[in-house]
């Protein structure tokens, strides 16, 4: 479990590094990110990001200080077709993903030297996490606490969290279940003609009207859910609608950075990886 020690122990990194990271990503990073950076630095002082970060589960070295250029859009780091803004780059449970990556590689690697190296890194990571009071569980205490606040699951499965007051103002359900909405989306995408597709869009248009009413009554979560589901479905047929719903929902919820990220993502979206920092 997460313990108090991790909260009181500040990572030994420079204030310049902290400013560089937070200015670049426009986010306030948790202390465990800096502890993880320090851990990597101790493994390899010359290349702190190291081999450990060069994998699909954890953002690579180009995410980190010393590898940025002025024209890089960090909002698109590691964003792929269906990544919503809350999956923004390296801020997503990095140490836990590193642990999972090590476990995966240990099952795959057969070379004895590489196995021993991975075991050594795994042991050091586990020891460092224990000393600092961090959990390496796949689902941490904070993640479990978030689960309790989820108002609906959504297509991406991580669930939606929006403020709901004692009068249940903040979220109202969509008139369609996830399964029914997916069927509607499938019909739209597979329509044989534009005329058929336009007709198939009718339920979506109706829900957008419901969202307008919901926004007027401060139930901002409804528009966020519909926009997120259409975004996560992944078809370009829903880009325009998602582009109308999501920035507005995030703005109403005062999540302005997410509004910026989703606009950048939709503007650059394709079926290929849109990781700008790896370009």
Residues with a known catalytic role:
217
Burial class of residue 154 (count of CB atoms within 10 Å of its CB; 0-12, 13-18, 19+): buried
Do 138 and 100 touch, CB atoms closer than 8 A?
yes
Rg (CA), the chain: 21
Using an 8 Å Cβ cutoff, are 1 and 135 in contact?
yes
Long-range contacts of 163-168 (CB under 8 A, 24+ apart): 163/253, 164/221
């Amino acid at each position: 479990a997460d313990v108090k020690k991790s909260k009181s122990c500040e990572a030994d990194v420079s204030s310049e590094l902290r400013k560089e990271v937070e200015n670049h990503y426009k986010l306030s990073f948790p202390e465990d990110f800096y502890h993880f950076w320090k851990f990597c630095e101790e493994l390899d002082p010359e290349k702190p990001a190291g081999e450990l970060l060069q994998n699909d589960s954890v953002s690579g070295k180009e995410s980190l200080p010393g590898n940025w250029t002025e024209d890089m859009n960090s909002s698109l780091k590691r964003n792929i077709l269906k990544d919503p803004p809350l999956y923004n780059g390296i801020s997503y449970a990095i140490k836990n993903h590193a642990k999972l990556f090590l476990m995966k590689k240990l099952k795959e690697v057969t070379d004895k030297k590489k196995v021993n190296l991975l075991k050594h890194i795994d042991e050091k990571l586990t020891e460092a996490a224990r000393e600092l009071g961090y959990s390496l569980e796949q689902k941490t205490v904070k993640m479990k606490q978030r689960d309790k606040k989820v108002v609906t699951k959504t297509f991406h499965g991580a669930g939606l969290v929006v403020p709901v007051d004692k009068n249940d103002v903040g979220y109202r359900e969509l008139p369609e279940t996830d399964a029914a909405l997916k069927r509607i989306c499938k019909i739209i995408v597979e329509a044989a003609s534009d005329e058929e597709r336009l007709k198939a869009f009718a339920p979506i248009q109706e829900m957008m009207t419901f969202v307008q009413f919901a926004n007027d009554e401060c139930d901002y979560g409804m528009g966020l859910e519909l926009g997120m589901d259409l975004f996560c479905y992944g078809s370009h047929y829903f880009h325009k609608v998602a582009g109308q719903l999501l920035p507005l929902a995030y703005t109403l919820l005062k999540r302005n950075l997410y509004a910026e990220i989703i606009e950048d993502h939709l503007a650059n979206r394709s079926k290929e990886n849109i990781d700008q920092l790896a370009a």
